[in-house]
Amino acid sequence: MIFEKIHTVPTSDELVGKAFRRASRAMSGKQITGRESAMKANESMVLTAGNILSDNLANIVRRFPSFDELPGFYYEIADILVGVDKLRQSLSSTDWASKKIHELSREFVMNIRKSDSSMKTRKEAFGRMASIMSSIDSDLRFLNDARNQLRKLPDVREEPTIVVAGYPNVGKSSFMALITGARPEVASYPFTTKGVSIGHFERNNDRYQVMDTPGLLDRPMSDRNDVELQAITALKHLESVVLFILDASETCGYVIDDQKRLLDEVRENFELPILVVANKADLPQFQEPDIVDLVISTETKQGVDAVVDQLIEMLAKEKESSPSVTPC
């Protein structure tokens, strides 16, 4: 996953402590006799501390993905979660500090050579480095916080995607299990406590992704706050179609009229093609509603292959009409 390689971001104090400790350790055991060797020792301390700080800061920036190249889905989710502008600002402050400290350590090495007291000049250099570090303290904390949130995002690939929707208990998980075989990966999705399940399957050597987003597409949209709505619309960046499952036996506990209302809302909020299927055809209570495209039973597998064929055809059409799906 794109955010997984971001390491923990240390605080300013931690980095300063590490850099200064290493700098002193490099000197311990070395005999300092006279002005020349004191100068060399202090020079080397400044260079060591400067390099450690500037390299560590540069690495922090390097390990964050470039937001301009981020797939649209992740860009939008990152924006809702932590704010891409704020991320950019903090990364650019960190980058600035890395360069500034590098410059400063070179300048101070020159100063040490000219100075009466190389120790005093070295201490001054350490003071300047520490103050640059403390000026980016809040940026580093913010980046670490962002990192912790972003790395928990589910692994959503840029594969043609089927988003499964419908009220609870209509058979979404059963359908997913049938077409993706193995149990799907369940990952947390920050906008819903129930997480998201993601499965994959192959047809004619093409890979497809199936997503069930419990808690997002299984209850009326009017119950949603803005963040949840955005989390839903972020899905539009994927090349995707929606499979809306109705339980036409009403054994799920929701009457068909309520289920239809949710379907209308999903239609209004998504600009994606929707395939409507009526599930649980094996049950005697089943009554086919007038608005369905296909009838299935995940219990007897009736109609399931036809649904998959239809979805794949819809995805192929999607691809034709929007060849590039990533721009945000």
Ligand X SMILES: Nc1nc2c(ncn2[C@@H]2O[C@H](COP(=O)(O)OP(=O)(O)OP(=O)(O)O)[C@@H](O)[C@H]2O)c(=O)[nH]1
Q: Nearer to ligand X by C-beta: 98 or 173?
A: 173
Q: Nearer to Mg ion by C-beta: 129 or 211?
A: 211
Q: Whole-number minimum distance, CB 218 to ligand X, in Å?
A: 5
> Does the protein bind ligand X through residue 79 (CB under 6 A)?
no
Amino acid at 6: I
Q: Which residue's structure tokens are 């209850």?
A: 219
Q: Which residues make beta-bridge pairs with 278?
A: 246, 295
Amino acid at 157: R
Residues across the chain:
328
Binder of ligand X out of 14, 124, 159, 299 (CB under 6 A): 299
For residues 312 and 160, what is the distance between their CA atoms, to the nearest angstrom? 9
298 binds, among ligand X, Mg ion, none (CB under 5 to 8 A by kind): ligand X
Per-position x/- string for 128-167, each x denoting binding to ligand X as judged by CB under 6 A, each - no binding: --------------------------------------x-
Binder of ligand X out of 171, 195, 199, 303 (CB under 6 A): 171
> Does the protein bind Mg ion through residue 279 (CB under 5 A)?
no
| Window of 49-57, 135-143, 202-210, 294-302 that interacts with ligand X by CB under 6 A | 294-302
Give, in degrees to the nearest 5, the angle at Cα 149 between 144 and 150.
95
> Does the protein bind ligand X through residue 174 (CB under 6 A)?
yes
Q: Whole-number minimum distance, CB 271 to ligand X, in Å?
A: 24
Q: Nearer to Mg ion by C-beta: 131 or 188?
A: 188
Per-position x/- string for 303-322, each x denoting binding to ligand X as judged by CB under 6 A, each - no binding: --------------------
195 binds, among Mg ion, ligand X, none (CB under 5 to 8 A by kind): none
Binding residues with Mg ion: total (CB under 5 A)? 2
Q: Whole-number minimum distance, CB 281 to ligand X, in Å?
A: 7
124 binds, among Mg ion, ligand X, none (CB under 5 to 8 A by kind): none
Binder of Mg ion out of 56, 90, 173, 259 (CB under 5 A): 173
HSE-up of residue 169 (Cα within 13 Å, Cβ side): 8
Q: Which residues make beta-bridge pairs with 246?
A: 278
Binding residues with ligand X: total (CB under 6 A)? 17
Find all residues with CB under 8 Å of 201, minimum gap 6, and list them.
179, 180, 181, 207, 208, 210
Binding to ligand X, residues 188-217 (CB under 6 A): 214
Per-position x/- string for 128-167, each x denoting binding to Mg ion as judged by CB under 5 A, each - no binding: ----------------------------------------
Binder of ligand X out of 112, 277, 297, 311 (CB under 6 A): 297
| Window of 8-16, 103-111, 137-145, 275-283 that interacts with ligand X by CB under 6 A | 275-283
For residues 248 and 264, what is the distance between their CA atoms, to the nearest angstrom? 16
